[in-house]
Structure 1
C-alpha cells in the first residue's frame, strides 16, 4: 500500500472539482479577513475585554482566530469529507476503483489520507494567518509570546480532523449527497444541542435533584456530561473565547452550577477518541456494505 500513490489517485480524482475548489477558496479567503473586518465593527468592546486589540495581539489572537476557524471548518471543510465519498457513489467511481484493482482497504486509506492532508492544509492556513496578524499588531513580540497558545495549533488540527472524520463517517453511512449533507448540518446545529438542553431539562426535575447534588461541587459532574457529546467536545477545542470569562457572564445566576466549557486537556483527549470512533465506524460501514 503506497501512501503517495493513494494520495495521487485522490488528487487526480478531485483536482478539477469545482465544489472542493470553491469550499477551500472560501476558507482561505474568509479566514484572515473575517477577524480583520471586525476592527470597524467592534470598536468598543464590553468588559471584561480591555479593548478590541485582544482580537489581534499575541497570545489571544490564537483563540479568536481558532474560534473563527471553528465555524469555517464546520461550514466549508467538513463538507469535503462528505463530498469525497458521496460524489464517487453518485458517479460510480467507487465501484470502478475496486473493479480496476484497488482493495477496499486501499480505497478507504486513500480517503483517510485525503482528510488528513486537508486537515494539515487547514492548520497551516490557521497558523500562518494567526502569526502574520499577531506580528502586525504586537510590537516586540518574541518567540515565547508568539507560541504561548495552549497547544492551539495541535487543537486546530484535531478540530479539522473532527469535522472531516465526522463528514467522512456520514458520507459512508448515508452515501447520498443531499441527505448526508442535511444530516451533517442537522446533527451539529440542531440535534446535538436539542439532546444537550433536553438533558438539562430532565436534570432540573426535583426527582433527580439528589443525583445532581451528589456530584462534586453540587452536581458539576452530572451537568458536565452533556459537554462530552461528540461535536461539543470538538467545538470546545476552540470555543467562543468569551466563555473563558464565566464569572462575568453568569454573575447573579444561581441556577447555573456547571462548567460551560471542558478543559483543554479533556477536549484534546475527547477529540482523539471521537475522531478514532468516526474513522472506525466509517471503515466498518464501508467494509460491510455492497459497493
Structure 2
C-alpha cells in the first residue's frame, strides 16, 4: 500500500493543477468558515451568522459536513484528471511495463481516493472543532463529541463520489468528457425520479426507489441541516408549521454507498483488464 501511494503522490507532486485545486478546496472552506464568524454592521444592523447557532455543538458536525460536501467537485476534478493523465501522458502503459499489475494500478488510485477523503474529513473535524470551541454555547465533552456519525458519513460520501469519478475517468478517458458525463448522470437520476414520482404519484415511494441510485445514495448520507436552525424552528412554530425532517445517518444508507464503492472499484478494474493498452 505504501509503495502504491508513493507512486501516486509522486505523480501528483508534479501536477500543478492538482496542487492548485487542492489548495482551492481547503482554502474555500476555511474562508467560508471565517466569513460565517465575522460580525457585520450596516447602519443599525448588527449581524453575525455564527449567532444563529450554526457553530453550536453538536450541530456544527452536521452543518459543516453538509456544506463542505459542495466543494468536493474541486477534488473530483483532481481525481478525474489523475485518471485521464494516465492515458494522455502514457504513464499507465509505462507503469505496466515497469511491473505494476493492473490490479495494483487500480488499488493505487483507490488508496489515493481514500487518503484524499481522510485528509478532507480530518480537516473538517479540526476546523469545526476550533470554531465550535470558540462560538458554541455548549462546552461539555459529551455534547462536543456527540453526532460524530456525520463525519463518518462525510468520509464514506467522499470515497463514494471520488470512486465514481475514478470509474468515469477510466471509462471516458478524457477529464472534460468524464465531468460532463457526471453532470449528465446527475440530470438522468433527477429525471428518473420525476418520472417515477409522476407515474406512481407518491413522493415517498419514488424516494425509496431512487435512494439506491449512485449519486442519490451518496447525497443521502448527509442531508440538509437547515431545518434544524433555531431561527427556522422558531419561524415554523410561529406559523404553526411542522418542519420535521429526518436527517439522521442510517447504517443501511452507508451500506448502499459501500456497495457502490465496490462496484466502481471492481468496474474500474474490469474495464482496465479488458482494454488493450
TM-score category, normalised to shorter length = 0.7 to 0.9
1:197 alignment partner in structure 2 = 194
> Conserved in 2, the CA contact under 8 Å of 1:83 and 1:177?
yes
- The 1:270–1:262 alpha-carbon spacing in structure 2 relative to 1, beyond 3 Å, is farther
Gaps of 5+ in 1: 46-50, 205-211, 213-218, 254-258
Task: Using the TM superposition, give the Cα deviation of residue 203 of structure 1 relative to its aligned residue in structure 2, in angstroms.
Answer: 1.7
1:70 alignment partner in structure 2 = 69
Q: What TM-score, normalized by structure 1, do the two folds share? A: 0.81
1:93 alignment partner in structure 2 = 91
SS of the equivalent of 1:228 reads: coil
Give distance in 2, aligned partners of 1:69 and 1:279: 24
> Conserved in 1, the CA contact under 8 Å of 2:193 and 2:206?
no
2:110 alignment partner in structure 1 = 112
Task: Using the TM superposition, give the Cα deviation of residue 7 of structure 1 relative to its aligned residue in structure 2, in angstroms.
Answer: 0.9
Compute the RMSD of aligned alpha carbons: 2.8
1:121 alignment partner in structure 2 = 119
1:271 alignment partner in structure 2 = 257
Task: Using the TM superposition, give the Cα deviation of residue 185 of structure 1 relative to its aligned residue in structure 2, in angstroms.
Answer: 2.7
Matches within 5 A, 1:226-241: 226-241=210-225
Mean Cα displacement is larger for which, 234-243 or 113-122? 234-243
SS of the equivalent of 1:199 reads: helix
- The 1:44–1:260 alpha-carbon spacing in structure 2 relative to 1, beyond 3 Å, is same
Gaps of 5+ in 2: 41-45
Q: What TM-score, normalized by structure 2, do the two folds share? A: 0.84
SS of the equivalent of 2:211 reads: helix
Give distance in 2, aligned partners of 1:66 and 1:38: 15
> Conserved in 1, the CA contact under 8 Å of 2:150 and 2:249?
no
Task: Using the TM superposition, give the Cα deviation of residue 29 of structure 1 relative to its aligned residue in structure 2, in angstroms.
Answer: 0.8
2:271 alignment partner in structure 1 = 285
Per-residue CA deviations over 1:83-125 (Å, capped at 9, x if unaligned) read: 1111111111111111122111111111111111111111111
Task: Using the TM superposition, give the Cα deviation of residue 280 of structure 1 relative to its aligned residue in structure 2, in angstroms.
Answer: 1.5
Matches within 5 A, 1:129-278: 129-139=127-137, 141-188=139-186, 190-204=187-201, 220-221=204-205, 223-242=207-226, 264-278=250-264
Per-residue CA deviations over 1:206-245 (Å, capped at 9, x if unaligned) read: xxxxxx6xxxxxx844542123321111112222212569
How many residue pairs were aligned?
263
Give distance in 2, aligned partners of 1:150 and 1:276: 24
> Conserved in 2, the CA contact under 8 Å of 1:243 and 1:260?
no
Matches within 5 A, 1:23-42: 23-38=21-36
- The 1:35–1:203 alpha-carbon spacing in structure 2 relative to 1, beyond 3 Å, is farther
